[in-house]
Structure 1
């Protein structure tokens, strides 16, 4: 099922508003098994709106259009749909009555401009908006590939997300016959660059119907195996090949972020954090842990031999920056294991997140029964300590 997204509004095109709706929707659909093929952004111009709607409908079985359904003169999406698909704007009296009733419930008269939101393309199906005055609607348009279904929603994020979950996703599942044509498997790596991963993974093609995607999310690289109608056998073989190449740097898999997975491993055990150079970045990864004590001290030593942790239980300490790098120390029930790492990232905040996750990865490896010290290609190590 080919899906495209169209976002509308001058405020998005000009950068005054960040289009979080499209990003959220793309991720949600991928979790359901549908990968968006294209995303377009267009301003409040009737000619441009008509053109992009017709172009997307000519390619995609499903087009999801967000924004431009308000009561003001620059809200042109319903008119553009009506003209693009020769379905003249028609008054839908039931929705007009709904708008009037909502204003009446608030004890205020309905502004005359809101009546515009009840004029919709002739023959469309209304998509209920339980929290706003702009309903969504569904237009069916014949195309060379069969039938294109265009779903229109308002752009207010709270309204939009509720309508997607309640009105659109169930329809897409029925359209797909309750079968997903795309399978997604996520993997997370740390301590290896995207280019080094590409050298390892892109030299040979993947099986037909399977592709590998990359997403840099500092300090991790997410790898996505995406199967389009691929068999389980082929997906399993592709996963085995992927893991065979990235296992030394694999820090998580699945839909849950690696930091959350590590905290799940930790369970209810208390954890103490002491941060210097990382300046709270480690706390940012661990703040949801219920048994957490965290401290910041700009005077922590930069020499690994002088770094200390909690005498009992589990603790992670990130020292200060020195000429040899930044020391990290894991203390687990009296045993201390540490290393000094050098970060090369030009952005200080990113460098702190790298140090914080390196410390967290030491904890992950300890909790998983792995050697605590890992070999990272992107983080030179200048010292080790084992007490």
Structure 2
């Protein structure tokens, strides 16, 4: 199934507003098994929007159009749809009554310009918007490949996302039936560069219908194994090949972020954090964990041997930066395992996130029964510490 997205608005074309709606929708559809084929951005021009609608309707099975449904003169999407598909605008009294009722419930009179939002292409079907005055609508248009379904949605992100979840996505699923074009499997690595992964993974082609995608998501490299109509057996074989190559640096897989996966392993045990050089980055990863106690202190030691933490329970401590790097210490009921890491990165914020996750990775490895200290390619270990209460 071919899906395209059209975003409208001068503010998006000029860069004054970032088109987060299209990015969010593309990711959501990919998770559901459909990869968007094309995304188009069009300014507030009646002829340009009309042309974009006709071109996408000719190519695609489904088109999602975002923006241009407001009450002002530059909101032209409904008019463009009427022209593009020879469906003159008509008043939909039921939506006009809905707008009037919403204003009345707030003790306000409806502005005359809002009536424009109830004039829609003649043969369309309304998509309810429970939180705004701009309804969405659906137009069906015959195309060379069958019939194209075009969904028109408002551009306000909160309204758009709710409408997609409640109105658009169920209709796309109904049209697709049991057929899924795309399967996506996610894997996260830490401590290895994207170029090094490419050297390992791109030397031999993947099976037909399967491709590997890369995304830098500091401090991780996310790998996406994408199957386009591939069999489950082929996907499983490709996954086994991928895991064999990346196993030393694999820190998570699936739709949950690695940090969430680690905290799920930990629950419900209490965790105490002490932060220095990471300046709250570790807390940011863990702040939703209910059994958390966190402290920030700029006077924590820079020497790994001088770093301390409680003798009971689980704790992670990130010291301050010193000549050898930053010390990290995991405390587990009177046993302390630590390392000092030298991080070479030009962005200080990225350094803080690298340090924070390196500490969390020590916890992950403990929880999974692995050696606590990993061998990273992108981080240099300058010191180690293994100590228990009897030492």
TM-score range, shorter chain: over 0.9
User: Which residue of the partner structure matches residue 363 of structure 1?
Assistant: 363
Which runs of 5 or more residues in structure 2 are unaligned?
Answer: none
User: Which residue of the partner structure matches residue 285 of structure 2?
Assistant: 285
| Distance across 2 between alignment mates of 1:102 and 1:357 | 48
| Distance across 2 between alignment mates of 1:305 and 1:58 | 68
What secondary structure sits across from 1:352 in the alignment? helix
Mean CA deviation greater in 206-215 or 82-91: 82-91
* Count of aligned pairs: 387
User: Which residue of the partner structure matches residue 172 of structure 1?
Assistant: 172
| Distance across 1 between alignment mates of 2:63 and 2:134 | 19
1:25-174 matches, within 5 Å, as 25-174=25-174
What secondary structure sits across from 2:40 in the alignment? strand
Mean CA deviation greater in 247-256 or 207-216: 207-216
What secondary structure sits across from 1:179 in the alignment? coil
Query: Structure 1-normalised TM-score?
Result: 0.97
Query: Structure 2-normalised TM-score?
Result: 0.96
Question: 1:273: Cα distance to partner?
Answer: 0.9
User: Which residue of the partner structure matches residue 250 of structure 1?
Assistant: 250
User: Which residue of the partner structure matches residue 263 of structure 1?
Assistant: 263
| Distance across 1 between alignment mates of 2:243 and 2:61 | 35
What secondary structure sits across from 1:342 in the alignment? strand
Question: 1:59: Cα distance to partner?
Answer: 2.0
| Distance across 2 between alignment mates of 1:189 and 1:241 | 15
Question: 1:211: Cα distance to partner?
Answer: 1.3
> Cα deviations across residues 156-182 of structure 1 (Å, max 9, x unaligned)?
222212211111111111110143221
> Cα deviations across residues 235-261 of structure 1 (Å, max 9, x unaligned)?
100100110110100001111111011
1:372-387 matches, within 5 Å, as 372-387=372-387
Mean CA deviation greater in 352-361 or 161-170: 161-170
Question: 1:345: Cα distance to partner?
Answer: 1.1
Question: 1:364: Cα distance to partner?
Answer: 0.2
What secondary structure sits across from 2:366 in the alignment? helix
Question: 1:20: Cα distance to partner?
Answer: 2.1
| Distance across 2 between alignment mates of 1:376 and 1:345 | 15
> Cα deviations across residues 272-297 of structure 1 (Å, max 9, x unaligned)?
11111111111111111112111111
Which runs of 5 or more residues in structure 1 are unaligned?
Answer: none
Question: 1:149: Cα distance to partner?
Answer: 1.2
| Distance across 2 between alignment mates of 1:46 and 1:310 | 67
> Cα deviations across residues 130-188 of structure 1 (Å, max 9, x unaligned)?
22221111111222222221100011222212211111111111110143221111111
What secondary structure sits across from 1:356 in the alignment? helix
| Distance across 1 between alignment mates of 2:79 and 2:254 | 42
What secondary structure sits across from 2:105 in the alignment? helix
Matched, 1:8 2:22: no
Mean CA deviation greater in 76-85 or 105-114: 105-114
| Distance across 2 between alignment mates of 1:379 and 1:46 | 54
What secondary structure sits across from 1:140 in the alignment? strand
1:325-364 matches, within 5 Å, as 325-364=325-364
| Distance across 2 between alignment mates of 1:299 and 1:364 | 27
1:313-324 matches, within 5 Å, as 313-324=313-324
